Structure formats: structure tokens, C-alpha cells
Structure 1
Amino acid sequence: MRKFTEEQHMFRDAYRKFLADEVAPRMDEFREAGIVDREIFKKAGDQGFLMIWPDEKYGGMGDNDFRYEQIIIEETTRAGCAEWYNTLHSRLVGPYFKNIGNEEQRERFLPKCVSGETILAVAMTEPGAGSDLSGMKTTATDKGDHWELNGSKTYISNGINADVIIVAAKIAGVEDKHAMVLLIVERGMEGFDRGKNLEKIGLHAQDTAELFFNNVKIPKENTLGTPGKGFIHLMEGLAEERLIGMVGYGASARRAFDVTREFAMERNVFGKKLSDMQNTQFKMAEMDAKIDMLQVYIDHCVEVHNQGGLNANIAAKGKMLGSEIEWEMADLGLQLHGGAGYMKEYEISRIFTDARMSRIYAGSSEIMRYIVGRDVFSQKYQSILE
């Protein structure tokens, strides 16, 4: 039995209705436009669905229980709205202000983030620096009363919609390749430009852009955290980022299973239902078991995270296997749909193309295996069951 409170069940019902009324009916429109209307963020904020954790003085509920975000991710995916990256805004980027920001920054930015007036993004990836951030070329030069930011970022989610972007940059003149600073870049700053909305093979409603910084003057009050420790600050948020990912992977796998099950029970092949064929039953039985096992691990990770115990190794395991199981189910689902699965009108085709990114972003499957494998052969290795 999954551990949600009565209040959280009520929250799930209300959020599910919000998605059905306000977001899901417009998703095809957003996919065609390549971007979710900013109005959706505002509507979610007005109803208290955008940011849960900020204190009441900033407009939030003041409840840091990750299960609220778990509900948001699961229901957003279930409704076919996962391309609306509300969790990137609310639970991946927003907490930087809580964890390493100062009170002036929290008061200045959080209320409008909670209300949906301000949309957030984080910019780490560059053309030559993805999983390995030490290859970063963007620099911040200390000019005394401000930083001068130069460089570019790519594949930035919410890149078009974002009003406030946390940008990672190397500190110019410092030899340590990990000496970075996180800077708060705001819409309209002179020298800050965006490229076009990038076209992708999936996640069509999610705006993704290149960002360019040409001698952008960043006031010192827009320094987030401690200069020189930007790399550490980024690493501190990775475990939760991967937990966010695995919750989505589990929900997506289950959604792919559900639509495939429904299709198999309706489709006639050689005079009988596709669901009556032993191969279909065996394949779907295996995936049902895998998805259930994944969900148990995800729920365990959420509980561990709420207790402050989620670490890089635990999160890497879930991110790695979760994205693999999602892909396995999406691939099987499309295969069992046959030719219909290749048609855009069937939901499984979108799940399939969207799922391909899961094994890449927030650390590729290869990087996850490296993290887990390194831990397996360390002196500190300990099974999660011990």
C-alpha cells in the first residue's frame, strides 16, 4: 500500500481535475506551437499547484514532503501532459533559492515563482560540456561590484519561457576546473540573448533553446551560493533531480502499459484478441512485474529522501533502471500496436519518442552505471538492505 495522507489524496484529486480542465485539452495546441502557454503556469500558481514547499510568507504551503511533487509528476504524466515542465520550475530549480540563496533573493524571486508569474530554468549544458561539467567554457569575470558573463548554453529546457535562469560559469583566472559560480540571469539583461526554439524528435511541447551571454553585467546580489563552490552546489541537487526523473519514468512506463493493455484487448488478430495470445500475455506480464518492482523502489527512495538520506548511488540506481524500464515498455507497447503504433494519432507513438530522452538527460545511463559501479568496488560499499 502506497503511503499517502488523506490530504495528499485530496490534493491528487484536485490536481487531476485541474489537468483535465486546463492543460490536457490544449496539449496538441502546445505541441504544434512547440511551447506551453505561460498562462498555464499562472493558472497552476493561482490554484496552489506550482510550488508546494516554499514557506507561507512566500506564497507556498510550507510543506517539503516530496510526495506532493511525486503526485504532481505522476498525474501530469498520466494525463499526457509531461511535456509541461512544471517540476523543472518548481522542484528542480526553485529549491536552489531555498538551499543556497539568501533571504533577500528568496523574498525577491520566490513569490512570483510560486504564483507562476516568473518561470525558472537552469543552464549547465554546453555544446562541449554535458555530463562532464569540467569541460564548461562559459566564464564569469569578477569586476568588483558585478560579474561579467560570457559564453553560451544549449539544450536548455524552459529556455524560451524562462524569466529567471540559474547559469553555471567557471570563474575566470582560476586554475581549478571545478571553480564555478552560479549566477541569476534575468530576462532583459543587456547582452543576454536566446536562440530559436530547438526542434526535437520528442517532447514537442517543451521549449528548448540555446542561450548566449555577451559581456552580460550580473550584479553581485545575483550571485547564488558561494563563488567557487558552484560545482558543489550543482552536485548537491543531482540526487533529487534523478529522483524527479525516476518518478516520471515509472509513471510513463505505467501509462505505456495501460494504453497498450487497452489496445491489445480491443485488437483482433487471426480471429482472436491480441490479448488472448500467449506471447502478448507473457510480455505484458513481465513488464507489469518490472513496473511494480520499480514503483516500490521509487516509493522507497521518496521516503528516504523525505528523511534526508537519498544519496548519489541510490538515486543513480533508480535513474538508470527506471529509464531503462520506461524505454522497454514504450518499445514493447509500440511493437504490440503494430503499424498503428507508428501513427501520431496513437498515444504510444508519443510515449516512445519522448521516452528516448530519459536515458540521456540528468546523467546518461552510462554515467549512472559508472556511479553505481564505482560504489560497488569502494571500501564504503553497503547494500541498501543493510
Structure 2
Amino acid sequence: MPYSFYEDDHAAFRQTVRRLVERSVLPHLEEWEEARLIDRSVWKDAAAAGVLGLRVPERFGGAGADDYRFRCVIQEELAEVGAASLASGFAINEDIVGSYLVRFGTEEQQQRWLPGMATGDVVTSIAMTEPGGGSDLRGMRTTARRDGTDWVLNGAKTFITSGSSSDLVIVAARSGEADGRARLSLFLVPSTAKGFERGRKLKKLGLHAQDTAELFIDDLRLPAGALLGEEGAGFRQLTAQLPLERLSIAWRAVVAAEAALRWTLEYTRERKVFGRRLVDLQNTRFRLAELTTEVEVTRGYLERCILDLNEGTLDAVTGAKAKWWATELQNRVVAACLQLHGGYGYMDEYRISRAYADARVQTLVGGTTEIMKDIIGRDLAGPKPGRGT
């Protein structure tokens, strides 16, 4: 019996997403790139089409859909037109902040924020990385101290996706120590809070339309109700969400590689060199065969991971494997596709040029390739039961 990853509901949803992309995304890609900012109207359009708030419970205006394959469809359709910046912004809202609120938020917190996220009125970001900190969360310097029933936060964050446009930011901060190790807590910070300031919008190699900013927190006072989850539970909360976060990045990687291959196959069928189609040259066919095989094998692995995620059985180590492999693959495939475009691949009028620049960050965000390999390696080095036990 043929294996099918998607079902009829996903096919119908794809048509909805495709219409949204054709109407509200594709015509504006160039202006977003030039402005280095995505217009907020697309969030409202996406919400009206039912493409935002998929994980938000129905009582808060969302779809209440736990099947991640619907998010996969969205990422595929955005990848096809090269809208990597928007895909990243949606992922922060849906896969990260939305998921944190649904899983760890109180009823009051959910009532305040989730309806706006489902309608496109609230754009969110998450602030973990600090200047000079990188992936070292245990070295975090942003602090949160109690002052009566309030919390007072101080620190700085950088490389924050949607940092200059978000309405709500999840901020990670040190809230104490236990056994000589930092305890992290997560806080819901409205961007209008006194003591919260946005720094410069950062210039980047790729993802130009996605605003990325520095954030500064100076004696920012929050009520007790701004604490997300339990005090000092930040590492545990992060660990619980990492499989989803990393699989989200991995899926964006593989569908971007698939799109690049489709563009390149089309180009090589039309481009002629020495009187022959480029695709008729043996080297071109061999290279496309290699890339296609790698991408299809990777997709098969990720599809299994998605189904495990739906069943609640995807673990952090498997997520790390998916993330490092798929993002490194994306960079290899896109680079090879640019090469097959020749000099035209270097021109921004061809989508492969932007895809090449957009791909580079994928091996860095959500934990670098080296961090992923360390996670896997430590798991392999850990105690294992003996054979037959």
C-alpha cells in the first residue's frame, strides 16, 4: 500500500494556503526585502484565512489543531515562493511562543495573549541569546530578582527575530542559583512595558525581510503574573519544547531544499549550453540525481519525526539529529543549485540567489550544528543497558 504523509484535510488546507500566498505574500516579497520588514497586514490576512493560530485552542479563537502536518503545508507553500523570512516569523509565533503559552501559560495569560495571536494582532518573539553568549544559556547574564510580589529584570538580548516589531516577548533570565548552577525563569514581557527598549535593527547576510533586533531591559518591573510556568523551571521548559523547535527548523530546511531543486530543474531544462539543454549534460543529471536522492531520503526521516511529534514521542536527541542534518543538507543543496544556475544564480532576480543567503543561518539558529552533534554524542556516550537486558 503506497505511503502517504498527507491526508485529504491537508490537501484542502494547502489550497487555502496557496491562495493566501498568491494574494498576500508573492506580490510583496520585494518590497519587504527592501524595507527589511514584513508588513503587518499579511499577519491579518493569514489569520482571516485560518493559517494562523493553528495550535491555539478554539476557545481563544484558534483552530486547536495538534496535527503538525498543517504547519508543514504552510512551510512548503512559503518555501516554494522563497518567503523564508515570513516562514521564520510565523514559526516563532506558532511553533515557539504559541506552544509555550499553550503548554505552560496560566488561564489568565492565555486569555490575554492567545486571541490576539490567532487574529494576527499580536506578533511575538523569544529572547534567549545575549551579546557574547551564543548557545551558552547557562552563562546568561540577564537577571530577574524579586521585589515584593513583583519581578525586576535587567539585561540585554541580541539576534531576536521579530525583535523590532513584536508585541510580546518571552524573556529568559537568571532568577537565582541552585547547587552552584544558574536557575532560569521565563517571563512574558509586553513591548510597551517601561524599561523595555528596542535597539538597532540588525543587518544580516540573509532573511532581509525578517526584522532582527537588539533588546535592552533596564529595571523592567513585571507583576507576579508575568512569570511563565514555574520559577526556576526555564531549563526544563526549554528542554520540553526543543524537539518541536528543532523539527520546525529542520522541516523549513528540507522544503527549502526541495523548492531550490524544483527551480533548478526547471532552469536546466530551459538553459542551453553548447547547443544542448543544460539538463542533457551528464554532469548535470548526475548532480541532480544525487541532490534529489539526498533530499528525498531526508524528507522520509523528517516525516517519521513529524508523526512521532504528533504522537508525543519525539525526543530531544532525535530532534537534534533532524535539525543538524537537514540544515546542513539545505546549505549543500542550495549551493549546488546556485552553481548549476551559473552566473545567473548570483543575480538577485533569480530566487536561488536569495535562497542561498537565507539558508546560511539555518545551521546556527536553534542551536548550532556543533551543539546538535554534542547532544547526540553525549547521549551515545551515556550509560546503556547491556545486550539482552
Please tell me the TM-score bracket, short chain as reference: over 0.9
1:237 is aligned to 2:241: yes
Residue pair 1:168, 1:181 contacting (<8 A) in 2 also: yes
2:52 to 27, 50, 53: 50
In structure 2, the residue matched to 1:31 is 33
Structure 2: how far apart are the matches of 1:86 and 1:118? 11
**Alignment coverage as a number of residue pairs:** 382
Unaligned runs of 5+ in 2: none
User: For residue 86 of structure 1, what is the aligned residue in structure 2?
Assistant: 90
Find the partner of 2:222 among 191, 211, 218: 218
Question: How do residues 120-139 of structure 1 correspond to structure 2 at under 5 angstroms?
Answer: 120-139=124-143
- Of 139-148 and 73-82, more deviation after overlay is shown by 73-82
Q: 2:73 aligns with which of 71, 74, 89?
A: 71
Q: Any idea what SS the aligned residue of 1:60 has?
A: coil
CA deviation map 1:23-70 (0-9, x unaligned): 111011001000101111111112211111222110011221111111
Cα offset, 1:172, TM superposition: 4.7
Answer yes or no: is 1:160 the counterpart of 2:164.
yes
Structure 2 Cα separation of the partners of residues 66 and 178 of structure 1: 33
| 1:257, distance to aligned residue in structure 2 (A) | 0.6
- Distance in 2 (CA, whole Å) between partners of 1:224 and 1:149 is 14
Distance 2:80 2:342 in 1: 23
- Residues 1:96 and 2:100 are matched in the alignment: yes
Distance of aligned partners of 1:337 and 1:381 in 2 relative to their CA distance in 1, 3 Å threshold:
farther
> Secondary structure at 2:181's aligned position in 1?
coil
Q: Deviations over 1:339-379 (max 9, x none)?
A: 11111111111111111111111011111111112222323
For 1:380 and 1:245, the matched residues in 2 are separated by: 29
How far is 1:126 from its partner?
0.4
| Cα distance in structure 1, aligned partners of 2:181 and 2:346 | 45
CA contact (8 A) 1:118 1:163 kept: yes
TM-score, with normalisation over the residues of structure 1? 0.96
1:178 touches 1:231 (CA, 8 Å); kept in 2? no
Distance 1:184 1:109 in 2: 10
1:320-331 to structure 2, matched below 5 A, reads 320-331=324-335
Cα offset for 1:174? 6.2
8 A contact 1:46–1:115 mirrored in 2: yes
Instruction: Give distance in 2, aligned partners of 1:318 and 1:66.
Output: 16
Cα distance in 2 for residues equivalent to 1:219 and 1:138: 17
Identify which range, 95-104 or 73-82, moves more after superposition. Answer: 73-82
Contact map agreement 1:51 1:91 (CA 8 A) in 2: no
Which secondary structure state, in structure 2, belongs to the residue aligned with residue 178 of structure 1?
strand
Partner of 2:262: 258
From the superposition, tell whether residues 127 and 32 of structure 1 become closer, same or farther in structure 2 (CA, over 3 Å): same
The answer for the alignment partner of 1:370 in structure 2 is: 374
Which sits farther off after the overlay, 78-87 or 315-324? 78-87
Which of 136, 146, 151 in structure 1 is aligned with 2:150? Answer: 146
Give the Å deviation of 1:173: 6.7
User: Is 1:128–1:135's contact at 8 Å kept on the other side of the alignment?
Assistant: no
The aligned residue for residue 296 of structure 2 is 292
Matching residue within 194, 203, 206 for 2:207: 203
Per-residue Cα deviation, 1:75-97 (whole angstroms, up to 9, x for no partner): 11112212111121112111111
**Structure 1's 247 and 149: CA in aligned 2 closer, same or farther, altered over 3 A?**
same
Instruction: Look up the SS of the partner of 2:84 in the other structure.
Output: coil
Instruction: Decide whether aligned partners of structure 1 residues 80 and 26 sit closer, same or farther in structure 2, where only a CA change above 3 A counts.
Output: same
How far apart are the structure 2 equivalents of 1:208 and 1:174?
33
Consecutive unaligned residues of structure 1, counting only runs of 5 or more, are none
Please give the alpha-carbon distance, in whole angstroms, between the structure 2 residues aligned to 1:107 and 1:136.
Answer: 30
Cα distance in 2 for partners of 1:7, 1:304 equals 19
Q: CA deviation at 1:312?
A: 1.1
Letter in 1 for 2:37: I
CA distance in 1, matches of 2:305, 2:372: 16
Residue type of the partner of 2:18? Answer: R
SS of the equivalent of 2:85 reads: coil
One-letter code aligned to 1:23: V
Q: Give, in whole Å, the separation in 1 of the partners of 2:211 and 2:223.
A: 27
